[in-house]
Amino acid sequence: MVTVTNSIVKKVNEIFYSLQGEGYYTGTPAVFLRLSGCNMACSFCDTQHQEGVEMTDEDIVKEVQKYPARHIVITGGEPTMQLTAGLTHALKQAGFFIQIETNGTLALPEGCEIDWITCSPKAKQIMIQRVDELKVLYPRKDMEDYEGIEAKEYRLQPIDSGDADINRDNVKETINYILKNPKWHLSLQTHKILNVR
Active site residues: 32, 38, 42, 45-47, 101, 191
What whole-number distance in Å separates Cα of residue 32 and Cα of residue 102?
Answer: 14
46 within 8 A of 21, measured Cβ to Cβ: no
Strand residues in the chain grouped as ranges (E)? 10-19, 29-35, 53-55, 71-75, 97-102, 116-119, 133-138, 153-158, 185-186
Nearest CA among 153, 77, 73, 78 for reference residue 115: 73
